[in-house]
């Protein structure tokens, strides 16, 4: 190993995505990820419990941003409007310069059913956190859970459109569009 370089976590993520794209998720080892990142396996395990977690780095920040968006919505906002505010604010976590990264990550997840299941579990946890934030605002059940789940549907549709697209449209734009389509469908 050479001289210390910053951003070990980011280097692991970039190395893993490159290797997953080149060889597939299953064929890539932690040792290969560490070597590509110029770090050790021991350092890898300081950040991640296994190679799957590299793809879900930042999930807690994502869920926290959703909850914060709901908490910061106007007090008189309807549940679906509080969820919409949260989704639009989360779209800002994915600026245009993250498009290529998000696309590569999504392809790795879609190529491996176990990763797809894990992503659905993470999204379900985010929906549960949003529902709790709505309940904390005084929204009763089942309205809180329905609004949170509908928001996650809009988010998944917008994210799929964004990663499938050329990156010209922002995730926030696509999120707003998906929310409008959801409202029209529900009306």
**Higher per-residue confidence, 6 vs 114:** 114
Q: Residue 183: which pLDDT band, with cuts at 50, 70 and 90?
A: confident
Closest alpha carbon to 52 in 74, 77, 29: 29
Rounded to a whole number of angstroms, the CA Rg of the chain reads 18
Tokens 């993250």, located at residue: 98
Q: What is the pTM of this model?
A: 0.86
- How confident is the model over 69-92, as a mean pLDDT? 93
Position 187 scores a pLDDT of 76
- How confident is the model over 132-160, as a mean pLDDT? 96
Contact in structure between 87 and 154 (CB atoms under 8 Å): yes
**120 pLDDT above the threshold of 50:** yes
Rounded CA-CA distance 3/171 in Å is 38
Tokens 């505010």, located at residue: 85
Q: At what angle do helices 143-164 and 171-186 cross, to 10 degrees?
A: 130
Q: What structural domains does the chain harbor? A: 8-54 (1.10.10.60), 58-186 (1.10.357.10)
């Amino acid at each position: 190993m050479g001289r210390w370089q910053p951003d070990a976590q980011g280097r692991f993520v970039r190395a893993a995505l490159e290797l997953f794209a080149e060889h597939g998720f299953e064929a890539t080892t932690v040792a290969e990820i560490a070597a590509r990142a110029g770090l050790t396996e021991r350092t890898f395990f300081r950040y991640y419990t296994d190679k799957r977690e590299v793809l879900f780095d930042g999930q807690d920040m994502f869920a926290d941003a959703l909850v914060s968006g709901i908490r910061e919505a106007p007090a008189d906002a309807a549940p679906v409007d509080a969820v919409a505010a949260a989704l639009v604010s989360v779209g800002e976590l994915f600026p245009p310069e993250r498009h290529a990264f998000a696309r590569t990550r999504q392809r790795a997840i879609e190529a491996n059913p176990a990763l797809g299941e894990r992503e659905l579990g993470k999204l379900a946890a985010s929906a549960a956190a949003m529902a709790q934030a709505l309940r904390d605002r005084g929204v009763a059940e089942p309205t809180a859970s329905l609004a949170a789940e509908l928001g996650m549907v809009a988010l998944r549709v917008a994210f799929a459109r964004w990663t499938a697209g050329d990156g010209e449209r922002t995730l926030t734009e696509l999120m707003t569009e998906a929310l409008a389509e959801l409202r029209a469908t529900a009306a």
